[in-house]
Structure 1
Amino acid sequence: MSEHTAASQEVLRLQELKKSYNVGKPTEVEVLHGLDLRLQRSDFAALVGASGSGKSTLLNLIGLLDRPTSGELYLLGEPTRDMPDMRRTALRGHAIGFVFQFHYLIQAFTALENVLMPLMVARGRPTPQDTERARHLLHEVGLARYEQRKPDQLSGGQQQRVAVARALVMQPALLLADEPTGNLDSQSAADVFGLFRRFNREFGCAVLMVTHDPRLSAQCDRTVTLVDGRIERDERQRAAPAPPAAG
Structure 2
Amino acid sequence: MSDPVLRLEGLRKVYNPGTPQEQEVLRGINLSLARGELTALIGPSGSGKSTLLNVIGLLDSPSAGELYLMGRPTRDLNDEARTRLRNEAIGFVFQFHHLISAFSVLDNVLMPLMIRHGKPSTADVRLAEQLLAQVGLEGYAGKRAGQLSGGQQQRVAIARALITRPPLLLADEPTGNLDTRTAEQVFELFREINREFGCAVLVVTHDPRLSANCRRSIELVDGHIVRDTGTTP
TM-score calculated relative to the size of structure 1: 0.92
**Is 2:155 aligned against 1:161?**
yes
- Kept in 2, the 8 Å contact 1:34–1:71? The answer is yes
Match of 1:185 in 2: 179
Q: Displacement, 1:168?
A: 0.4
Query: In structure 1, what residue type is equivalent to 2:115?
Result: V
- Kept in 2, the 8 Å contact 1:9–1:41? The answer is no
**Is 2:43 aligned against 1:23?**
no
- Given candidates 63, 66, 70, the residue that maps to 1:72 is 66
- Given candidates 19, 24, 28, the residue that maps to 1:34 is 28
Looking at structure 2, the residues matched to 171 and 194 of structure 1 have their Cα atoms a distance apart, in angstroms, of 19
Looking at structure 1, the residues matched to 225 and 33 of structure 2 have their Cα atoms a distance apart, in angstroms, of 14
- Kept in 2, the 8 Å contact 1:11–1:77? The answer is yes
Looking at structure 2, the residues matched to 46 and 227 of structure 1 have their Cα atoms a distance apart, in angstroms, of 14
The higher relative CO (CA closer than 8 Å, separation ≥ 6) is in 2
Q: Displacement, 1:24?
A: 2.4
**Is 2:95 aligned against 1:101?**
yes
Looking at structure 2, the residues matched to 169 and 106 of structure 1 have their Cα atoms a distance apart, in angstroms, of 16
Match of 1:243 in 2: none
Looking at structure 2, the residues matched to 238 and 229 of structure 1 have their Cα atoms a distance apart, in angstroms, of 24
- Kept in 1, the 8 Å contact 2:216–2:232? The answer is no
Match of 1:129 in 2: 123
Match of 2:132 in 1: 138
- Kept in 1, the 8 Å contact 2:102–2:146? The answer is no
- Kept in 2, the 8 Å contact 1:10–1:77? The answer is yes
Identity %: 62
Match of 2:165 in 1: 171
Q: Displacement, 1:237?
A: 6.1
Corresponding pairs, count: 233
Q: Displacement, 1:187?
A: 2.1
Q: Displacement, 1:25?
A: 1.9
Deviations 1:136-171 (A, max 9, x none): 000101111111111221111101000000000000
Q: What secondary structure is seen at the aligned counterpart in 1 of 2:132? A: helix
Q: What secondary structure is seen at the aligned counterpart in 2 of 1:146? A: coil
Q: Displacement, 1:9?
A: 4.7
Looking at structure 1, the residues matched to 40 and 148 of structure 2 have their Cα atoms a distance apart, in angstroms, of 28
- Given candidates 190, 196, 207, the residue that maps to 1:202 is 196
- Unpaired runs of at least 5, structure 1: 240-247
Looking at structure 1, the residues matched to 146 and 160 of structure 2 have their Cα atoms a distance apart, in angstroms, of 17
Q: What secondary structure is seen at the aligned counterpart in 2 of 1:73? A: strand
**Is 2:149 aligned against 1:148?**
no
Q: What secondary structure is seen at the aligned counterpart in 2 of 1:19? A: strand
Query: Which shifted more, 158-167 or 195-204?
Result: 195-204
Match of 2:77 in 1: 83
Superposed CA RMSD: 1.1
Q: What secondary structure is seen at the aligned counterpart in 2 of 1:144? A: coil
Q: Displacement, 1:232?
A: 0.4
Query: Which shifted more, 213-222 or 144-153?
Result: 144-153
Question: Structure 1 segments of 4 or more deviating over 6 A?
Answer: none
- Kept in 1, the 8 Å contact 2:3–2:71? The answer is no
C-alpha distance 9-142 of structure 1, shift in aligned 2 (>3 A): farther
